[in-house]
Amino acid sequence: MIQHDILAQRYENGKPKLRRYHQARWDEPIIFELNQPGQRGVLVPETEPAIKDQVGDALSVLPAKMRRKQPPALPEVSQVHVLRHYLRLSQENLGAGFVPDFGMATSTMKYNPPLNEQLARSPKMTELHPLQDEETVQGILEVIYRFEQILKQVSGMARFSFQPRAGSQAIYANASVVRAYHASRGEAHQRNEMIVTIFAHPSDAACPSTAGYKVITLYPEESGYPSLEALKVAVSERTAGLFITNPDDTGIFNPIVDEFVKVIHEAGGLCAYDQANANGLLGIARAADAGFDLCHFNLHKTFSTPHGSGGPATGASGVIEKLARFLPVPTVEFDGEKYYLDYDRPDSIGKIAPFYGVVPNILKAYAWVMALGADGLREAAEVAVLNNNYLLKKVLEIPGINAPYAKGKRRIEQVRYSAEQLTQETGVSSLDFALRAADFGLHGFLSHHPFVVPEPLTLEPTESYSQTDIDEYAAIWARIAEEARTNAELVKTAPHNAPIHQITDHDSFEDPARWAITWRAFRNKVQDGHGK
């Protein structure tokens, strides 16, 4: 009976009621502000005289020019205060482990099995050093080699490099490979334009731009993808390549992408498929089969390893046979008896990052794929698409929220919704909506800039979550939309249950004279500089 009563508290009509949630609030200063001169985390013992005599002045090993003139201004804080500080911060956070965080789209975390974490944290992994002789690291080289064989099958590409430490680095590596290819044909100077779509991930434009390319962006038609005619206006003898996602952030699959590839190839360019998020495509569609020359996967997204902020990421960069010689060095090879690192690749673009990639990530991704098998990968994609379309149906039942473009068509793994109608009817913007979602423990991502979809909200449920999770998520959205109509002020002043309320000074994030991504930059620009 008691158990029955408890369930009655939590369920209504057989469905879980909306959870009551409140995040911890510690009003915690930043670690630099906790500085108390004289406090210590560790007192490093004096070096024993015998060692001192042997080594001499250890600092003298460093060239004088490279030595700091004064010690770094690190905060002086005791161990217990450091521990407390970071535990508090961790409570003022949202995380994929707590909630089905579909609002992270276009990069909702799928489930990261702790078993794979344990593998990566085993001493067999953690005690390896990248400079060890390859004879002594045959096991991990085998894992890297075998995982490359898997990705080759998944994509149809000929070779992969796991060196890039993020999806963006992989795109940068691919842009560099494209240039190396054109250079090998004496066309690097002439071919200085890269074509992208506006709904592609912004890195598809930013990374080629960083690599020195001009970027031409295509705008979508009502179908959700650009027309071939627009592509043909962009293409010329200056075209180096096409960097494209498919589906784009709208979740709409471009069914004529192979024709895009053909147009680019006819103009002498190469085509790179951004498959950072291949959640809807694993085992279903392959980059090489659509004619692409390059692709990349984010292991920290599609292959279940944690995101960058949870540990260094991996962007696996793949190419067809004729481009293999340009991949970063070293590659991992197998001569039939042993695995080895091949640095003798004269046409290589060189190094994108040190060593061989974030090896623990490769191990986790390998473990994930081996647990699922080929059929499991395909099933993961199918469930991801099914989940997304189930969520789509539930969201479209919420008055005021729509899914622009390709009306009536199903989407692949994500959807960019528009709350424009709700905004017009209630004054509640999609940003207000997303901030109110934080009161239910959810993070809300609107859209990359620019907001081509007005009042955007983007969701991706992935395959990891259950129907109950999706129902709960959709119910929270329905509640917020209802609140927008009955108590708009509540939504517009949200979040109320989160440690930080609203940040209204957005411009400081957008004005290069004022933004700062490091403490030092903050001091230079904002505290002391002209930005103040």
Cβ atoms within 10 Å, residue 490: 16
**Which residue bears the tokens 């490099």?**
161
295, 353, 391, 431: which one contacts another protein (CB under 8 A)?
431
Q: Does 65 bind another protein (CB under 8 A)?
A: no
Q: Closest distance between another protein and the C-beta of residue 426, in Å?
A: 9
Tokens coding 266: 């006819």
Tokens coding 115: 């078993």
Provide the angle, in degrees to the nearest 10, between the axes of the packed helices 138-155 and 359-396: 30
Q: 145 exposed, middle or buried (CB, 10 Å; 0-12, 13-18, 19+)?
A: middle
Would you say 84 or 514 has its CB closer to another protein? 514
Would you say 302 or 423 has its CB closer to another protein? 423
Q: What is the C-alpha to C-alpha distance for residues 367 and 168, in angstroms, rounded to an integer? A: 24
Q: What is the C-alpha to C-alpha distance for residues 108 and 293, in angstroms, rounded to an integer? A: 27
451, 467, 519, 521: which one contacts another protein (CB under 8 A)?
451
* Residues paired with residue 159 on neighbouring β-strands, in sequence order: 319
Q: How many residues does the chain have?
A: 532
213, 273, 303, 440: which one contacts another protein (CB under 8 A)?
213
371, 427, 500, 501: which one contacts another protein (CB under 8 A)?
427
Q: Does 454 bind another protein (CB under 8 A)?
A: yes
Taking alpha carbons only, the member of 377, 384, 416, 423 closest to residue 400 is 423
Give residues 139-198 in contact with another protein (rule: CB under 8 A): 198
Q: What is the C-alpha to C-alpha distance for residues 502 and 513, in angstroms, rounded to an integer? A: 22
Query: For residues 30-63, b (16+ Cβ closer than 10 Å) or e, as one string?
Result: ebeebeeeeeeeeeeeeeeeeeeeeeeeeeeeee
Q: Closest distance between another protein and the C-beta of residue 3, in Å?
A: 47
Q: Does 112 bind another protein (CB under 8 A)?
A: no
Would you say 183 or 215 has its CB closer to another protein? 215
Q: Closest distance between another protein and the C-beta of residue 446, in Å?
A: 9
Q: What is the C-alpha to C-alpha distance for residues 395 and 457, in angstroms, rounded to an integer? A: 11
12, 289, 397, 511: which one contacts another protein (CB under 8 A)?
511
CB 161 within 8 A of CB 173: yes
Would you say 115 or 228 has its CB closer to another protein? 228
Q: Closest distance between another protein and the C-beta of residue 222, in Å?
A: 7
Would you say 320 or 446 has its CB closer to another protein? 446
- Tell me if the bond preceding 75 is cis, omega within 30° of 0: no
Q: Does 510 bind another protein (CB under 8 A)?
A: yes
Going by DSSP bridges, is the β-strand pair 456-459/415-418 parallel, antiparallel, or unpaired? antiparallel
8, 115, 513, 521: which one contacts another protein (CB under 8 A)?
513
CB 378 within 8 A of CB 369: no
Q: What is the C-alpha to C-alpha distance for residues 84 and 456, in angstroms, rounded to an integer? A: 38
Would you say 171 or 285 has its CB closer to another protein? 171
Q: Closest distance between another protein and the C-beta of residue 315, in Å?
A: 23
**Residues near another protein (CB under 8 A), total:** 39
Binding string to another protein for residues 469 to 508, with x set by CB under 8 A, is what? Answer: -----------------------------------x-xx-
Q: What angle do CA 38, 43, 45 make, to 5 degrees?
A: 140
Q: Closest distance between another protein and the C-beta of residue 532, in Å?
A: 15
CB 167 within 8 A of CB 276: yes
Give residues 215-274 in contact with another protein (rule: CB under 8 A): 215-220, 222, 226, 229-231, 233-234
39, 78, 209, 524: which one contacts another protein (CB under 8 A)?
209
Q: Does 200 bind another protein (CB under 8 A)?
A: no
> For another protein, which stretch binds (CB under 8 A), given 170-178, 275-283, 359-367, 418-426?
418-426
Q: Does 429 bind another protein (CB under 8 A)?
A: yes
> For another protein, which stretch binds (CB under 8 A), given 174-182, 330-338, 359-367, 449-457?
449-457
Q: Does 214 bind another protein (CB under 8 A)?
A: yes
Tokens coding 391: 């969520």
Q: Closest distance between another protein and the C-beta of residue 502, in Å?
A: 10
Rounded to the nearest 10 degrees, how much is the dihedral formed by the CA atoms of 184, 185, 191, 194? -60
CB-based contacts of 499, cutoff 8 Å, min separation 6: 23, 24, 25, 26, 27, 92
Q: Does 7 bind another protein (CB under 8 A)?
A: no
Interface residues with another protein (CB under 8 A) are: 198, 205, 209, 213-220, 222, 226, 229-231, 233-234, 420, 423-424, 427, 429, 431-432, 449-452, 454-455, 504, 506-507, 510-514
